[in-house]
Chains A and B, each alone.
Chain A
């Protein structure tokens, strides 16, 4: 990605344990860049939620993760070979005001991603889903 001062690229197999392997790499990458722990946590949570969906329901064999760091901004591109799925428009928004009995189980993952990241975008390119995220960094 243009203007990036550091980049982390990692290919993942369809295995939920890979998400923890990625999280450790992301932690190291962010630590080296001097980013606060809270940023690392939020970024890893967003990645976890999207990758869990892709691996559990999307039928992807592999996912390519690219994280770029530019001044004041982190960018993420997730590319997978699963079935076409736009998480930002096809996943229902949770109703946060319901009580314990009424509150449905699940549906929070994509909500977290939208909350944690500054921008989210989806595109289908050929046989691949491309999810692009950015996170503005505290200056």
Chain B
């Protein structure tokens, strides 16, 4: 897995590519929480090229959401493929996280 990092104005767009699982969740956690610790307040996660996520990956998403909320920041997820979306759904995360169909909508939502 790699995480592509782009900036759109005040928003940081993070795109994990490939698999986000127990084998690399530690690395993802370090990258993502590192960005929040550096002061990023608005983050969009683009899941368009994420093939697979396990509970280890969801754990990182929840940690990011907690940190951002505590610091008054915001995150929006977008472009989830159906099987990824189902994992978020059975986790109960769709009701606590903001999810948009496209990156454009996510950027509008977070901005």
Q: Do A and B bind each other?
A: yes
Chain A interface residues toward B at CB < 8 A? 16-17, 19-20, 23, 37-38, 41-42, 44-45, 48-49, 52, 56, 94, 96-101, 103, 105-106, 108-109, 111-112, 115
Q: 6 new A-B pairs (CB below 8 Å) besides A16-B23, A48-B54, A108-B55?
A: A19-B22, A19-B23, A20-B19, A100-B96, A109-B56, A112-B55
B87: A residues at CB distance < 8 A: 45, 112
Assembled-state Cα–Cα distance A98/B55 (Å): 17
B96: A residues at CB distance < 8 A: 98-100, 103
B59 at the interface (CB under 8 A from A): yes
Interchain nearest-CB distance for A26 vs B (Å): 12
Classify chain B: how many residues form its interface, as a range. Answer: 20 to 34
Assembled-state Cα–Cα distance A16/B56 (Å): 12
A19: B residues at CB distance < 8 A: 21-23
Q: Which of B22, B65, B90, B91 gathers the greatest number of chain A CB atoms within 10 Å? A: B22
Q: Are B83 and A37 in contact (CB under 8 A)?
A: yes
Q: Give 1 or 0 for each of B61-83: 1 = CB within 8 Å of chain A CB.
A: 01101100110000000000011
Assembled-state Cα–Cα distance A48/B20 (Å): 11
Assembled-state Cα–Cα distance A95/B87 (Å): 15
Q: Are B92 and A97 in contact (CB under 8 A)?
A: yes
Interchain nearest-CB distance for B1 vs A (Å): 10
Q: Choose one: A37, A52, A94; the contact of B92 (CB below 8 Å).
A: A94
Assembled-state Cα–Cα distance A103/B50 (Å): 24
Assembled-state Cα–Cα distance A113/B72 (Å): 34
**Residue on A with the closest CB to B56?**
A52
Q: Are A52 and B52 in contact (CB under 8 A)?
A: no
Q: Are A56 and B58 in contact (CB under 8 A)?
A: no
Q: Choose one: B66, B83, B91; the contact of A41 (CB below 8 Å).
A: B83
